């Protein structure tokens, strides 16, 4: 019978058979899929799995700790963290075009990941033959069903990798849907903050700052995003809302009045959406009281922000993210 426990057990057994006594690596993004895939493989092969987490400095408040502390505590997985914030900020400096920002982030991510993999390879006795990925059934269908071997290069379409970094893919979730992945994650003891996490884009907060990405702007956006998430959760809206991007319009200023004087600050946009699959979406009718709380807190607590606006556009025509 289909129970999360049965599924988890049989997936762990399959991983054991596939990997044998080999070594594997897995990139953690902070998202559900990679966390559950890594947790399954860890159960199957223990410390022969190394997890790699690239902190690009574009994460939300608390996300690094969630991986480094909560994920590790729940799974006992071996984790290598790459501190790449400075590199990412340097490469992003002066860039305002959304596609350019995404390309830079993609390229730097692969560089950081490669660097960590090379280190793992140097430090291990044998070779690392397996790359774990959190591919789900809908991803398999979308990409035409192929599985097998991959090198990081072809997977991410980025050049410059040595020939010998070629991996056999381990994709324990490839027959599962998202709900099933969450159920398996709970079965493996992963914390609810990881298992129930809403979608968050790989390029992170960088594509939620309209304009150049700087450390200071990231700080501002992170503070506003934390407040919005706290209040939406407190209002019990996490399962109603698919995700709620919080966007900083860094190139826009408007006049305000705060305390004793006139301010000239930036707007924050709230973009709560309801969706089934992110292909289409509608803006979520968040209760006025909750919007009021979020607006009051953000303008009181986040310096440089003097206005909060609500995005009431469906997708199409608007995308969920602003960049
Ligand atoms: P859009 O903005 O295209 O977003 O309506 C659809 C869904 O995809 C997420 N998204 C991304 N996820 N890398 C990701 O991993 C990306 O570059 C990226 N861009 C958008 C977005 O958060 C939404 O869930």
User: Which atom belonging to ligand 1 lies closest to the Cα atom of 245?
Assistant: 22
pLDDT score for 150 = 63
Question: Please, which residues bridge with residue 149 across strands?
Answer: 168
pLDDT score for 136 = 94
Q: Do the Cβ atoms of 130 and 167 come closer than 8 Å?
A: yes
Q: Whose CA is nearest to atom 12 of ligand 1?
A: 201
With residue 37 as reference, give the H or E element that holds it: helix 32-45
Q: Do the Cβ atoms of 146 and 135 come closer than 8 Å?
A: no
Task: Say if residue 29 carries a ligand binding annotation.
Answer: yes
Strands 261-270, 305-310: pairing is parallel
Q: Is the CB of 203 under 6 A from ligand 1?
A: yes
Nearest to 73 by CA among 119, 35, 41: 35
Q: Is the CB of 204 under 6 A from ligand 1?
A: no
Q: Which of 278, 284, 313, 317 is the best mutation target for the ligand 1 pocket, counting ligand atoms within 8 Å of the beta carbon and taking the most?
A: 278
pLDDT score for 279 = 94
Domain boundaries, the chain: 4-195, 204-310
pLDDT score for 148 = 64
Q: How far is the CA of 23 from the centre of ligand 1 (A)?
A: 32
pLDDT score for 147 = 57
Tokens of 207: 């594509």
Residue for token pair 């129930």:
196
**CATH: 3.40.50.800, 1.20.1250.20, 3.30.300.10, 1.10.3720.10. Which one for 204-310?**
3.30.300.10
Q: How far is the CA of 196 from the centre of ligand 1 (A)?
A: 17
Exposed e or buried b for every residue in 195-230, given b needs 16+ CB within 10 A?
bebeebbebbbbbbbbeebeeebbebbbbbbbbbbe
Nearest to 217 by CA among 229, 230, 231, 204: 204
Supply the DSSP string of 216-283, one letter for each residue: HHHHHHHHHHHHHHHHHHHTT-TTT-SB--EEEETT--EEEEETTEEEEEEEEEE--EE-SSSSSBEE
The model's pLDDT over 130-189, given as tens digits with 9 standing for 90+, comes to 999 999 998 888 777 655 666 554 444 333 444 556 899 999 999 999 999 999 999 999
Provide the residue-wise pLDDT of the chain in tens; the chain has 323 residues. Answer: 789 999 999 999 999 999 999 999 999 999 999 999 999 999 999 999 999 999 999 999 999 999 999 999 999 999 999 999 999 999 999 999 999 999 999 999 999 999 998 888 887 777 889 999 999 998 888 777 655 666 554 444 333 444 556 899 999 999 999 999 999 999 999 999 999 999 999 999 999 999 999 999 999 999 999 999 999 999 999 999 999 999 999 999 999 998 889 999 999 999 999 999 899 999 999 999 999 999 999 999 999 999 999 999 999 999 999 99
32-45 and 4-19 helices, crossing angle to 10°: 60
Question: Please, which residues bridge with residue 160 across strands?
Answer: none
pLDDT score for 264 = 97
pLDDT score for 113 = 94
pLDDT score for 152 = 56
Q: How far is the CA of 21 from the centre of ligand 1 (A)?
A: 37
Q: Whose CA is nearest to atom 14 of ligand 1?
A: 201
Q: How far is the CA of 9 from the centre of ligand 1 (A)?
A: 32
Task: Say if residue 31 carries a ligand binding annotation.
Answer: yes
Burial of 145 (0-12, 13-18, 19+ CB in 10 A): exposed
Exposed e or buried b for every residue in 158-169, given b needs 16+ CB within 10 A?
beebeeeeebeb
Class of domain 4-195: alpha beta
Task: Say if residue 32 carries a ligand binding annotation.
Answer: yes
Q: Do the Cβ atoms of 299 and 257 come closer than 8 Å?
A: no
Does the fold of domain 204-310 match that of domain 4-195? no
Q: What is the DSSP letter of 71?
A: I
Global pTM value? 0.91
Q: ipTM more than 0.85?
A: yes
Q: Do the Cβ atoms of 203 and 59 come closer than 8 Å?
A: no
């Amino acid at each position: 019978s289909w129970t999360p426990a049965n599924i988890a057990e049989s997936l762990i057994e399959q991983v054991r058979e596939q990997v044998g006594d080999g070594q594997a690596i897995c990139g953690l993004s902070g998202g559900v899929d990679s966390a559950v895939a890594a947790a399954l493989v860890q159960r199957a092969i223990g410390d022969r799995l190394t997890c790699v987490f690239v902190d690009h400095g574009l994460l939300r408040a608390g996300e690094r700790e969630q991986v480094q502390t909560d994920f590790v505590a729940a799974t006992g997985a071996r984790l290598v963290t790459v501190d790449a914030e400075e590199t990412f900020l340097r490469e992003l400096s002066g860039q305002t075009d959304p596609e350019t920002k995404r390309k830079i982030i993609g390229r730097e991510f692969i560089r950081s990941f490669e660097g960590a993999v090379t280190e793992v390879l140097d430090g291990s006795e044998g070779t690392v033959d397996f790359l774990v990925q959190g591919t789900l059934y809908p991803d398999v269908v979308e990409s035409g069903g192929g599985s097998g071997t991959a090198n990081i290069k072809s997977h991410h379409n980025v050049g410059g990798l040595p020939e010998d970094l070629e991996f056999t893919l381990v994709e324990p979730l490839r027959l599962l849907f998202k709900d099933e992945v969450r159920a398996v994650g709970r079965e493996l003891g992963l914390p609810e903050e990881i298992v129930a996490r809403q979608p968050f884009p790989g390029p992170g907060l960088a594509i939620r700052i309209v304009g150049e990405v700087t450390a200071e702007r990231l700080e501002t956006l992170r503070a506003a995003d934390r407040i919005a998430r706290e209040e939406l959760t407190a209002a019990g809206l996490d399962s109603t809302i698919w995700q709620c991007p919080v966007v900083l319009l860094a190139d826009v200023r408007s006049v305000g009045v705060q305390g004793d004087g006139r301010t000239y600050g930036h707007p924050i946009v709230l973009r709560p959406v309801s969706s089934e699959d992110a292909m289409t979406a509608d803006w979520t009718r968040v209760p006025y009281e909750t919007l009021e709380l979020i607006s009051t807190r953000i303008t009181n607590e986040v310096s440089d922000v003097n206005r909060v606006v609500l995005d009431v556009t469906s997708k199409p025509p608007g995308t969920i993210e602003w960049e």
